[in-house]
Amino acid sequence: MKLRNIAIIAHVDHGKTTLVDKLLAQSGTFRENQRTEERAMDSNDLERERGITILAKATSVEWNDTRINIVDTPGHADFGGEVERILNMVDGAVILVDAAEGPMPQTKFVLGKALKVGLKPIVAINKIDRSDERHKEVLDEIFDLFVALDATEEQLDFPVLYGSGRAGWLASEPDGPQDQGLTPLFEKIIEHVPEPDTANVNEPFKMIGTILEANPFLGRLITGRIQSGTIKPNQAVKVLGRDGNLIENGRITRILAFRGLERVPLDSAQSGDIVAIAGLSKGTVADTFCDPSVTQPLDAQPIDPPTVTMSFIVNDSPLAGTEGDKVTSRMIRDRLMKEAEGNVALEITESPDKDSFFVSGRGELQLAVLIETMRREGFELGISRPRVVMKEGENGEVLEPLEEVVIDVDEEHSGIVVQKMSERKAEMIELRPSGGDRQRLVFHAPTRGLIGYQSELLTDTRGTAIMNRLFHSYAPFKGELPGRTNGVLISSEDGESVAYAMFNLEDRGPMVIDAGVKVYAGMIIGIHSRENDLEVNVLKGKKLTNMRASGKDEAVKLTPPIRMTLDRALSWIQDDELVEVTPKNIRLRKLYLDPHERKRFEKSRKAA
């Protein structure tokens, strides 16, 4: 069969995974009566819960006499490393753009990477059925973006389709016809995307590892595109690192091809095809899998550096080990190293005392997803506040990461957004209407200032603002930023919280825990209404006597506590606080539980 390899790339929520669902259905991959999940490619529990794609995944469909390998990619900037890796697997890309929102930061990021490696994109303007669609302006913005990213004349001559992925149709005109379904897209892929070069089929086998996953029956599965030669089961291969050093020798036990949502074993595969191979125990992402006669590794795409780091600390609270079964530093280390193998955008370093690990990634969301995954696997951890990764400039000056921030907001709330962003040392680059009484504000802001801003932005704009961020560059340090304005309420005793005590403390500030939960000295139980921290006793019950009270005893009614989700807790805590993460609970605590140690730490910090 003829072959085409394409990636579907776009900003988060522009409809990539939904479009892949319809491509699978309309190509006859599913039986007519077959029950399928919505967003079939989002196989991971966290992907389904959050409604985002986290891991790049491959599938394939047959259209007439052509097999089309499709790679579905994440749209969130924090998982951009996944997109960068898969671009050397494909010969073309479908760039999906929302007909109302237009090109967003992640569209710009992935399009820039795609153009750089010479891909010829097909532009699909999706969600044309939205009431606020503005396809003409969006097409102009896409063209301007291509020009700004130095596209070649051939790349600028891109075909454009309009339609609705959810409704399952795309056409060359915005108003249809709709009865052809996705046939125009299939035809454009076959016509516009070049066939993989198979002239090197007689050369030695070479393949670059792109996606790593663990299979309970086959062990490590490495997915990649065969760059040259052919491969068969039981064939001897070796693995070369990016620097050309030998990592291991071995044999391939199984070759799997992607057929719809299934994996099918193959007797052989040749250059140009995307396959997964099993049988090697050490080879990982960005390594070259090749014939024993090959001496030079293939060039891997360079990956952008991480910008945010957190400390993963062995849980040392009084409740450690009561809710999770994986609590030792050795278990945490093994799990983090395993994660770093498959995720090249992560960097992990061990602290000298071996009790904590510095994990660096693209953003808080990427690290929060890792923490949530580990929590569900039974790990207990203490997590520090996210910090940005600083660099040293040529003149010895300190450089910090800047992000391009795009905020879509109702016009009435734009003033407060501009004010809050300027307080965070952001510089406004652009302000323009984005349709429907909304404005698009574009800033260059230090990453430090954006930690914790998402929830504040939603409060300020009554939930109407949409913020998107993307790493821009490193720039000179912009000075100190304002921190959290409120102190915290800290438990002074170990035990179970009592409703009567919490009711009497409500004047001091809102709580973050319920009554009847386990607390310990040094644990944060509420937000103080003033700037300073305050130690309180939440275990104090009502004094009972055998004298009848003259007043009427009423049931205590507590104000519902503020629910701290993992993402919110990570962005809210200060440098001297930790988030304690266990399979059952997310607690907030002080770094030093003992009040005397806290005072000593505070004095030393002020002196410094």
CATH of the domain at 412: 3.30.70.240
C-beta pairs of 62-67 under 8 Å, 24+ apart in sequence? 62/1, 62/27, 62/28, 62/29, 63/27, 63/186, 63/189, 63/190, 64/190, 65/1, 65/2, 66/1, 66/2, 66/3, 66/4, 66/190, 67/1, 67/2, 67/3, 67/4
CA count, 13 A, side-chain hemisphere, 331: 14
556 three-class SS:
coil
pLDDT tens, residue by residue, 48-98: 666 676 667 788 888 888 888 888 877 766 666 677 777 878 889 999 998
Indicate whether 245 belongs to any domain: yes
Write the CATH number for 224.
2.40.30.10
Q: Tell me: do 12 and 68 sit in the same domain.
A: yes
pLDDT the model gives residue 406: 87
Taking the C-alpha atoms of residue 72 and residue 70, their distance in angstroms, rounded to an integer, is: 6
Among 258, 290, 322, identify where a domain stops. Answer: 290
Question: Is the residue at 526 inside a domain?
Answer: no
Residue 391 among known ligand-binding residues: no
127 is in an annotated binding site: yes
Residues 88 and 186 in one domain: yes
Backbone angles phi, psi at 422, to 5 degrees: -70, -35
| CA distances to 39, 85, 197, 570 from 225, in Å | 24, 11, 12, 38
pLDDT at 470: 79
- Residue that the structure tokens 């209407």 belong to: 433
Same domain for 131 and 27, yes or no, is yes
- The length of the chain in residues reads 608
Residues 180, 218 share a domain:
no
- Are residues 157 and 212 located together in one domain of the fold? no
Structure tokens at 31: 């039986």
Residue 352 located in a structural domain: no
Confirm whether 518 is domain-assigned: no
Query: Do residues 10 and 98 both lie within one domain?
Result: yes
pLDDT of residue 238: 92
355 is in an annotated binding site: no
Query: What pLDDT does 48 receive?
Result: 66
Q: Was 157 annotated as part of a binding site? A: no
d(CA 257, CA 259): 6
Amino acid identity of 104? M
Residue 55 lies inside a defined structural domain of this protein: yes
Confirm or deny that 18 is annotated as ligand binding. yes
Tokens coding 346: 């992560």
Domain boundary among 451, 476, 501: 476
The answer on whether 44 is annotated among ligand-binding residues is no
Say if residue 129 carries a ligand binding annotation: yes
Tell me whether the omega of the peptide bond preceding residue 177 falls within 30 degrees of 0, making it cis.
Answer: yes
The answer to whether the beta carbons of residues 416 and 424 sit under 8 Å apart is no
On whether both 58 and 153 belong to a single domain, the answer is yes
Low-confidence ranges of the chain (pLDDT < 70): 28-45, 47-51, 53-55, 76-81, 301-303, 435, 547-554, 608
Query: Can you give the residue range of the structural domain that contains 74?
Result: 2-192
- pLDDT at position 35 is 47
Last residue of a domain, one of 290, 311, 330: 290
Residue 271 domain flag: yes
Bridge partners, 96 (sequence order): 10, 124
Q: Say whether both 174 and 45 belong to one domain.
A: yes
**Whether residue 264 sits in one domain with residue 157:** no
Answer yes or no: do 44 and 146 share one domain. yes
Distance separating the N- and C-terminal Cα atoms of the chain: 69
Residue 180 and residue 41 in one domain: yes
Note whether residue 108 is domain-resident. yes
- Has 295 been labeled as part of a binding site? no
265-287: per-residue pLDDT in tens?
999 998 888 899 998 888 888 88
Give the model confidence (pLDDT) of 149-188 as tens digits: 888 888 889 999 999 888 888 999 988 788 888 898 989 9
Q: How many domains does the chain have?
A: 3
142, 234: one domain = no
Residue 58 within any structural domain of the chain: yes
User: Residue 492 and residue 509: Cα distance in Å, rounded?
Assistant: 16
